[in-house]
Chain A
Amino acid sequence: DAKTTQPNSMESNEEEPVHLPCNHSTISGTDYIHWYRQLPSQGPEYVIHGLTSNVNNRMASLAIAEDRKSSTLILHRATLRDAAVYYCILRAYGGATNKLIFGTGTLLAVQP
């Protein structure tokens, strides 16, 4: 399984945008890029996913580099509720499994 690399931690101020980076230099052509987050004492929560094009939803935006070797999760206006661990995960399309391989993620702290 291809691996992802994320910073261990980041800080942001409330109401400001946050850019969470992820490197995945060994990504294959059939790997989707998924982002999940985990709030304290809760199960992971889906944020967004994409393959090649940038994606937007109500929670966030996902910007994917043209060579797909990196991506950035963008929270447009951070709130205190966005403080969580954010996981960038590659998920192979077309295989016989639905495996999500988690790394250690980025711990995002949001200051008021």
Chain B
Amino acid sequence: NAGVTQTPKFQVLKTGQSMTLQCAQDMNHEYMSWYRQDPGMGLRLIHYSVGAGITDQGEVPNGYNVSRSTTEDFPLRLLSAAPSQTSVYFCASSPRLNTEAFFGQGTRLTVV
């Protein structure tokens, strides 16, 4: 019962470095999303995908890229990390619209 798996769980980056946050789901869900959560705030949508090969921007897409080459994987790329990207990142998937979304356990990213 893996569900939604995010790696790594923790990461420290230096300003300007790039990295990829991994997200994989084994439930054959069409829809996948990335959110960030800053202290004391709700989650904000970064990017989402409604199926393999299809992605779109959410509320706060600047500084992030995504791709969806397979149904299972939806990686989030930070092109040039900035301290403002220090946050907890959550990946989610759901089988279709208006059904339960399943979230991963999060990746805590610190940019120094």
Instruction: List residues of A (50-99) whose CB comes within 8 Å of B's CBs.
Output: 87, 91, 93-99
Please measure, in the bound complex, the distance between the C-alpha atom of A42 and the C-alpha atom of B103, giving whole angstroms: 9
Whether B76 is near chain A, meaning CB under 8 Å from some CB there, is no
A36, A42, A101: the one contacting B45 at CB < 8 Å is: A101
Q: When the two chains form their complex, are residues B33 and A43 in contact, meaning their CB atoms are under 8 A apart?
A: no
Is the Cβ of A96 less than 8 Å from the Cβ of B48? Answer: no
Do A91 and B103 touch across chains, with their CB atoms under 8 A apart? no
Interface string of B40-60 (1 = CB under 8 A from A): 111111001010000010110
Give the number of residues in A that approach B within 8 Å (Cβ atoms). Answer: 23
A93 to B45, CA, bound (A): 18
Chain B residues with CB under 8 A of A102: 35, 42-44
Interface contact A98-B101, CB-CB below 8 Å: yes
Q: A104 contacts the other chain (Cβ, under 8 Å)?
A: yes
- Within 8 Å of chain A (Cβ to Cβ): is B104? yes
Total A-B Cβ pairs within 8 A:
61
Name the residue in A42, A43, A45, A103 with the highest tally of chain B Cβ atoms < 10 Å from its Cβ.
Answer: A43
Contact A43 B97 (CB under 8 A): no
Return the chain A residue nearest B95 by Cβ: A98
For the complex, would chain A's binding face be called helix, strand, loop or mixed by DSSP majority?
loop
Q: Which of A32, A46, A99, A105 contacts B33 (CB 8 A)?
A: A99
Smallest CB separation, A27 vs chain B (Å): 14
Interface string of B9-49 (1 = CB under 8 A from A): 00000000000000000000001010100001111110010
User: What residues make up the interface of B, taking CB atoms closer than 8 Å to A?
Assistant: 4, 31, 33, 35, 40-45, 48, 50, 56, 58-59, 90, 92, 94, 96-98, 100-106
Other A-B pairs beyond A46-B102, A101-B45, A102-B35, 19, CB < 8 Å: A36-B101, A42-B105, A42-B106, A43-B4, A44-B103, A49-B98, A91-B97, A91-B98, A93-B98, A97-B50, A98-B31, A98-B48, A98-B50, A98-B96, A98-B97, A99-B58, A100-B33, A100-B45, A104-B42
Residues of A bordering B, CB below 8 Å: 32, 36, 42-46, 49, 87, 91, 93-105
